[in-house]
Amino acid sequence: MEEYDLIVIGAGSGLDVASAAARQDMSVAIVEDGPMGGTCLNRGCIPSKMLIHRADVMRTIKGSERFHIGSEVTDTDFTAMIREVSETVDDDAESIERGVRNTDNMTLYKEEGRFIDEHTLQAGDEEINAEKIVVAAGTRPFIPPVDGLEDVDYLTSKEALRLEEQPGHLVVLGGGYIAAELAHFYGSLGTDITIIEMGDTMIGHEDKDVQQQFTDVFSEEYDVYLNHKATAVSEDDGTITVEAENRGGELIEVSGDALLVATGRVPNTDRLAVEAAGIDTDDHGFIEANEYLETSTDGVWALGDIVGNWLFKHSANYEAQIVFENAVLGHRHEVDYTAMPHAVFSEPQVAGVGYTEQELEDDGREYVVGSYEYGRTGMGAALKDDGFVKVLADPESREILGCHIIGSDASTLIHEVLVAMRTGNGTVEDITETIHIHPALNEVVQRAFNQV
């Protein structure tokens, strides 16, 4: 049995802990059966955003007539796009792996790890042990129990980012952010899109006004079936047919030459056999970790998607910092999720932080609302953007409770609100009393806060 000071399971944000621990002269084992860099680099944030930028370029060209500029797309090399992005991602992953293998006190096990006991893992043919273990093994796509689905050559987000032949018609199960981003990519490049969503709207975790506007925009652009649940899937001579039923029992059939399943994520705790280590999980299989990101087993910490607090790369990176300080340096720093933001890189773009209006309503909390439309600002009018900024605030303390943006550069505009909530006073005045450049687009944020 090989003994180490630290074992890190997962080579995404867990690598941050492993590398920092190695710099502290600890012997570190990394257990990862996939490419280095985890979900974000290989099958998530990085390749999807690189491809989405190409979709954004296409939409800019096709939309130029709105500004009385004639344009024409004469050629689109879909395969070259995919290959270029895939090669970039693969080169980065291979570079990270070389760095790990060339570090004297780091050992890489390219195997799926499984717990044998509290501090021992089986990694391929070897058993490895450490006093300290960090579990950062992430999640994988959830595959719903739909009759016939397992017999069909369907796509998940992993395959959809490396599909070298562009489908003519893509059917999408699910209406969350992964579905929205991939529909935007394929749809912008000319693929017909049909979306089947169980809920009343798409992107159902967003503020209700954002949900509605986003759904309206997508429904104009694509075929969107809301309140429908897929009941059966079949394939015949390259054509995939999905049967779906609405709440009234009415059935529809939709056929395409590709099917994307984007119905959520599940944690990889089952593959790790965490029960053998005495690590507690919740009803959905996510690891239960306390405010120090400690698990129920002494000497075992967890971070990232497998914890299930926030399934974002930026939150995983933050958690890795906390785990390093606590597990490696011996500190007792609590995790602080104040102003944890998110974004959807679709068209329109979406970003948000804090409470949604429906959450405040459910909690019975008093609040005031301020909102402002992009088109009522100089730059918003120049862009011909129909987006808006919505602010939720406490009527007495003037604390910022939430901010939600839909429209151009939403993921960038949200950041002054994040700074105010995280490191400022966290009040409306942090924004309203800041001088904003005129006529920059960020005036729409200031004016929404002025409305409060």
109, 29 Cβ separation under 8 angstroms: yes
Pick the CATH number of 149-263 from 3.40.50.2300, 3.40.980.10, 3.50.50.60, 3.40.50.150: 3.50.50.60
Pick the CATH number of 348-451 from 3.90.650.10, 3.30.390.30, 3.30.465.10, 3.30.300.20: 3.30.390.30
Residues labelled as active-site residues: 438
- Residues 430-445 have pLDDT tens digits of 999 999 999 999 999 9
DSSP codes of every residue in 186-233: HHHTT-EEEEE-SSSSSSTTS-HHHHHHHHHHHHHHSEEE-SEEEEEE
- Residues 336-368 have pLDDT tens digits of 999 999 999 999 999 999 999 999 999 999 999
Beta bridge partners of 152: none
Determine the pLDDT at residue 341.
Answer: 98
Distances (CA, A) of 423 to 372, 413, 436: 25, 17, 19
Q: Which two tokens stand for residue 298?
A: 């002494």
- Residues 374-400 have pLDDT tens digits of 999 999 999 999 999 999 999 999 999
What are the strands of the beta sheet with 223-225, ordered from one edge?
A: 223-225, 192-196, 169-173, 258-261
Determine the pLDDT at residue 221.
Answer: 97
Determine the pLDDT at residue 224.
Answer: 98
Confidence of residue 409 (pLDDT cuts 50, 70, 90): very high
5, 30 Cβ separation under 8 angstroms: no
Query: Measuring CA to CA, which residue among 267, 362, 359 is closest to residue 309?
Result: 267
H or E segment and range at residue 265 = strand 265-267
- Kind of pairing between the strands at 350-354 and 400-406: antiparallel
Q: CATH 3.50.50.60 occupies which residues in the chain?
A: 2-141+266-328, 149-263
Determine the pLDDT at residue 12.
Answer: 97
H or E segment and range at residue 448 = helix 443-451
Determine the pLDDT at residue 370.
Answer: 98
Proportion of the chain above pLDDT 90, given as a percent: 100
- Residues 152-168 have pLDDT tens digits of 999 999 999 999 999 99
- Residues 241-250 have pLDDT tens digits of 999 999 999 9
Interatomic CA distance for residues 210 and 214, integer angstroms: 6
Instruction: Read off the pLDDT of each residue in 187-208 and give the average, rounded to a whole number.
Output: 98
Determine the pLDDT at residue 305.
Answer: 97
Could you confirm whether domain 2-141+266-328 is CATH 3.50.50.60?
A: yes
Q: CATH 3.30.390.30 occupies which residues in the chain?
A: 348-451
